[in-house]
């Protein structure tokens, strides 16, 4: 989510690190910082972009041959100079940069405060610096190794210390980190673009490996202190390819990151044995939420459709009446809002003007306002009374993909949270949490069928019209599938409730008007099955998306794609993936600009 760069060698470290940070801005860009070590440490941080950091550095004469830098995409604590990395210990001798989320930071922080540590930021990262300080006895890698035994979560970490100088210590778990090998100089980076201009020889760190670089050497050990031999790889990407991790487009890269986006939602937020969910951002209004009688979800575009799935989940599992409103309509029409209502704004960017104004209107009418927002510290995040951050990382492709699944995952956990307040059993809470934790590995299974989806795109990409049909939890997915196709392929596509088909739309069906039917083996499968036969009777072509091992559609429809089995409420997290990939491949075949489709913007900040 954020970017890390480190340098140690004979050259001045500062320009090399800031140059690397500029190349990582696509990973996060709300604040940045560096620490350069000499006899003393020069720590400079800013809220804003790397350019703001270099402006601030301009009139400082910072000299030193090693250091670490960071460009941040906030998760814990809003973007600010204090919350920017590097973070340090009480004595300002140990400096840490970190990507990822420390799940147990609240309990670690409490323990360290009891021992007398003084914290200055709101971040989860700062506990790492103080924990290392606690274990430090002259050897930095040993202190990091011991600290790691206490840290839970996902991380890539780099550390330097004035008391064990001339080395950079680093480690990772579920967050990338690599070493760049040079001549009398070495680098570390969270992503290849940061160091591509300096070296192509790299070593990829694996989970739970701990490394040390000096100007002339490197060493990698495991957490039990055993040395590990590593292979040196050659980077063959240019900078642009590296930013996309070698994938041809950001949209494709972001689809491939969907498993991680879903994994990040429950991180540090679930207590499995209690079947319970805890949202740090809702803590201060937990009691108020108990009294809420009605929910209204407001959003635009893809976020609105995630809200649609959320509505069905909350109605079924939290047993609350839920209205879903397009934010641009909510603002002007009469909506029934009172002091027993909570309004939930869903927005990836947190800047969509329609959604922001709707939040203001809801507040004016006395509602409690909540946000499900990806960008920490964004306008909507600041406007709402309380909220939940997605932690999906920056989304660059205009057509939203990983933010969408992340928003749905948040709604699944919110259903448990509100449901448990309203009589949901521990077993049910636990079941939803457990099933959600399986989703990323099920998504991997769908990715193994990417070639098949590509073949279907080749077969169908010349059609000019598509229907997308779904029922219950997969009706919003039909709408999202159609929206994805419209957005990037410019093909006319309409999503319908499967049951609505025979009330009009079926008149359109002939052999040139294909339908994509989302028909997992769920509580409405039988109903959908008869709808499929009605389309076939009119010679309509059908691509069906159904559950693995359901072979009865094979002989009826033209093409079948299979998704793994999961809880009915979570099927949208799986069924949407082939639809995103289908839209992607169709748009590629039509030669369109995938990441910047015509007429669209990532964030619409005007009404
Ligand atoms: C724009 C984007 C969509 C997005 C919508 C809402 O229309 O093109 O992809 O879904 O805004 O954006 P938000 O940032 O509020 O989720």
Average pLDDT of span 396-420: 97
Rounded distance from Cα 553 to ligand 1 centre (Å): 35
Q: Does any ligand 1 atom lie closer than 6 A to the CB of residue 348? A: yes
Average pLDDT of span 251-259: 97
Res. 328: pLDDT tops 70: yes
Rounded distance from Cα 348 to ligand 1 centre (Å): 7
Distance, CA of 142 to CA of 137 (rounded, Å): 8
Q: Does any ligand 1 atom lie closer than 6 A to the CB of residue 349? A: yes
Question: 602 an active-site residue?
Answer: yes
CA atoms within 13 A on the CB side of 408: 30
Substitution site in 300, 325, 374, 375 for ligand 1 pocket (most atoms within 8 Å of beta carbon): 300
Token match 């499995």: residue? Answer: 272
Nearest CA to ligand 1 atom 7: 301
- In the prediction, which pLDDT does 559 show? 97
CA 402, chain centre distance (Å): 6
Q: Considering the candidates 56, 219, 459, 602, report the single residue annotated as catalytic.
A: 602
Rounded distance from Cα 232 to ligand 1 centre (Å): 41
211 pLDDT band, cuts 50/70/90, is very high
For residue range 136-146, what is the model confidence (pLDDT) as tens digits? 999 999 999 99
Rounded distance from Cα 465 to ligand 1 centre (Å): 24
Res. 606: pLDDT tops 80: no
Substitution site in 254, 302, 376 for ligand 1 pocket (most atoms within 8 Å of beta carbon): 302
Find the helix or strand (DSSP H, E) in which 278 lies. none
1 pLDDT band, cuts 50/70/90, is low
Q: Does any ligand 1 atom lie closer than 6 A to the CB of residue 483? A: no
154 pLDDT band, cuts 50/70/90, is confident
Rounded distance from Cα 384 to ligand 1 centre (Å): 18
- In the prediction, which pLDDT does 240 show? 78
Rounded distance from Cα 598 to ligand 1 centre (Å): 14
Q: Does any ligand 1 atom lie closer than 6 A to the CB of residue 392? A: no
Q: Does any ligand 1 atom lie closer than 6 A to the CB of residue 355? A: yes
Nearest CA to ligand 1 atom 5: 301
Average pLDDT of span 542-555: 94
- Least confident stretch, 446-450, 460-464, 553-557, 560-564: 553-557
Q: Does any ligand 1 atom lie closer than 6 A to the CB of residue 401? A: no
Which ligand 1 atom minimizes the distance to the CA of 399?
9
And the tokens for 265?
Answer: 């939602």
Q: Does any ligand 1 atom lie closer than 6 A to the CB of residue 302? A: yes
Nearest CA to ligand 1 atom 2: 602
Q: Does any ligand 1 atom lie closer than 6 A to the CB of residue 390? A: no
Q: Does any ligand 1 atom lie closer than 6 A to the CB of residue 347? A: yes
- In the prediction, which pLDDT does 260 show? 94
Distance, CA of 296 to CA of 320 (rounded, Å): 10
Residue whose C-alpha is closest to residue 516's, from 574, 564, 456, 473:
456
Token match 């869903």: residue? Answer: 346
Distance, CA of 161 to CA of 154 (rounded, Å): 23
Rounded distance from Cα 203 to ligand 1 centre (Å): 38
Nearest CA to ligand 1 atom 4: 301
- In the prediction, which pLDDT does 374 show? 92
Stronger pLDDT, 339 or 85, i.e. the higher one: 85
Res. 29: pLDDT tops 80: no
- In the prediction, which pLDDT does 465 show? 97
| Percentage with pLDDT > 90 across the chain | 84
Question: Are 186 and 174 in contact, with CB atoms under 8 Å apart?
Answer: no
For residue range 442-494, what is the model confidence (pLDDT) as tens digits? 999 999 999 999 999 999 999 999 999 999 999 999 999 999 999 999 999 99
Q: Does any ligand 1 atom lie closer than 6 A to the CB of residue 264? A: no
Q: Does any ligand 1 atom lie closer than 6 A to the CB of residue 398? A: yes
DSSP string, 102-143: ETTHHHHHHHHHHTT----SS-STHHHHHHHHHH-SS-HHHH
Rounded distance from Cα 595 to ligand 1 centre (Å): 14
604 pLDDT band, cuts 50/70/90, is confident
- In the prediction, which pLDDT does 134 show? 97
Find the helix or strand (DSSP H, E) in which 68 lies. strand 66-72
Question: Are 478 and 305 in contact, with CB atoms under 8 Å apart?
Answer: no
Substitution site in 400, 486, 593 for ligand 1 pocket (most atoms within 8 Å of beta carbon): 400
And the tokens for 534?
Answer: 């009605």
Nearest CA to ligand 1 atom 8: 602
Res. 27: pLDDT tops 80: no
Rounded distance from Cα 142 to ligand 1 centre (Å): 46
Q: Rounded to two decimals, what is the model's pTM?
A: 0.86
- In the prediction, which pLDDT does 585 show? 98
Question: 2 an active-site residue?
Answer: yes
6 pLDDT band, cuts 50/70/90, is very high
User: How buried is 539 (Cβ within 10 angstroms: 0-12 exposed, 13-18 middle, 19+ buried)?
Assistant: exposed
Rounded distance from Cα 23 to ligand 1 centre (Å): 25
Res. 28: pLDDT tops 70: no
Substitution site in 308, 398, 479, 604 for ligand 1 pocket (most atoms within 8 Å of beta carbon): 604
Q: Does any ligand 1 atom lie closer than 6 A to the CB of residue 571? A: no
Average pLDDT, the chain: 94
Substitution site in 251, 299, 301 for ligand 1 pocket (most atoms within 8 Å of beta carbon): 301
């Amino acid at each position: 989510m954020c970017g890390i760069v480190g340098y140690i060698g004979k050259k001045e470290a500062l320009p090399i690190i800031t140059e690397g940070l500029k190349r990582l801005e696509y990973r996060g860009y709300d604040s940045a910082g560096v620490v350069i070590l000499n006899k003393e440490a020069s720590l400079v941080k800013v809220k804003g972009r790397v350019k703001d950091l270099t402006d601030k550095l301009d009139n400082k004469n910072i000299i030193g041959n090693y250091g670490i830098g960071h460009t941040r995409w906030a998760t814990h604590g809003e973007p600010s100079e204090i919350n920017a990395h590097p973070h340090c210990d009480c004595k300002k001798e140990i400096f840490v940069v970190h990507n990822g989320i420390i799940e147990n930071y609240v309990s670690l922080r409490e323990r360290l405060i009891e021992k007398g540590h003084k914290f200055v930021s709101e971040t989860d990262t700062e506990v790492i610096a103080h924990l290392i300080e606690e274990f430090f006895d002259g050897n930095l890698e040993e202190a990091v190794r011991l600290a790691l035994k206490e840290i839970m979560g996902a991380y890539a970490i780099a550390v330097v210390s004035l008391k064990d100088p001339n080395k950079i210590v680093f480690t990772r778990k579920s967050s990338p980190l690599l070493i760049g090998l040079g001549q009398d100089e070495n680098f570390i980076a969270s992503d290849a673009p940061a160091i591509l201009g300096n070296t192509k020889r790299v070593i990829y760190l694996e989970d739970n490996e701990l490394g040390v670089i000096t100007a002339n050497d490197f060493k990698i050990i495991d957490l039990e202190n055993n040395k590990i031999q590593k292979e040196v790889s050659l980077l063959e990407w240019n900078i642009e390819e590296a930013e996309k991790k070698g994938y041809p487009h950001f949209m494709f890269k972001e689809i491939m990151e969907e498993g991680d986006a879903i994994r990040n939602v429950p991180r540090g937020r679930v207590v499995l044995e209690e079947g319970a969910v805890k949202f740090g951002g809702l803590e201060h209004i937990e009691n108020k939420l108990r009294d809420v009688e009605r929910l209204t979800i407001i959003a635009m575009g893809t976020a609105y459709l995630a809200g649609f799935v959320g509505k069905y989940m909350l109605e079924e599992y939290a047993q609350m009446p839920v209205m879903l409103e397009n934010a641009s309509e909510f603002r002007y029409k009469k909506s029934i809002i009172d002091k027993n209502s909570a309004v939930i704004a869903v927005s990836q960017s947190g800047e969509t003007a329609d959604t922001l104004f709707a939040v203001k209107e809801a507040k004016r009418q006395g509602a409690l306002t909540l946000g499900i927002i990806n960008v920490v510290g964004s306008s909507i995040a600041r406007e709402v009374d309380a909220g939940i951050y997605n932690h999906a990382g920056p989304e660059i492709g205009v057509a939203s993909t990983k933010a969408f699944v992340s928003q749905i995952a948040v709604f699944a956990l919110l259903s448990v949270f509100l449901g448990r307040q309203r009589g949901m059993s521990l077993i049910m809470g636990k079941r939803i949490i457990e099933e959600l934790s399986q989703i990323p590995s099920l998504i991997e299974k769908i990715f193994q069928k990417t070639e098949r989806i590509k073949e279907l795109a080749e077969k169908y990409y010349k059609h000019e019209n598509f229907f997308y049909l779904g029922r219950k939890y997969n009706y919003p997915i039909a709408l999202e599938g159609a929206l994805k196709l419209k957005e990037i392929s410019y093909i006319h596509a309409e999503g319908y409730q499967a049951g609505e088909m025979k009330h009009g739309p079926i008149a359109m069906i002939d052999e040139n008007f294909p339908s994509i039917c989302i028909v997992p083996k769920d509580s409405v499968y039988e109903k959908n099955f008869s709808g499929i036969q009605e389309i076939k009777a009119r010679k309509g072509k059908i691509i069906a998306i159904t559950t693995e091992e359901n072979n009865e559609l094979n002989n009826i429809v033209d093409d079948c794609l299979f998704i793994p089995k999961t809880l009915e409420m979570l099927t949208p997290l799986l069924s949407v993936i082939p639809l995103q990939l289908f839209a992607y491949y169709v748009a590629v075949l039509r030669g369109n600009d995938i990441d910047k489709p015509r007429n669209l913007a990532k964030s619409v900040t005007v009404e």
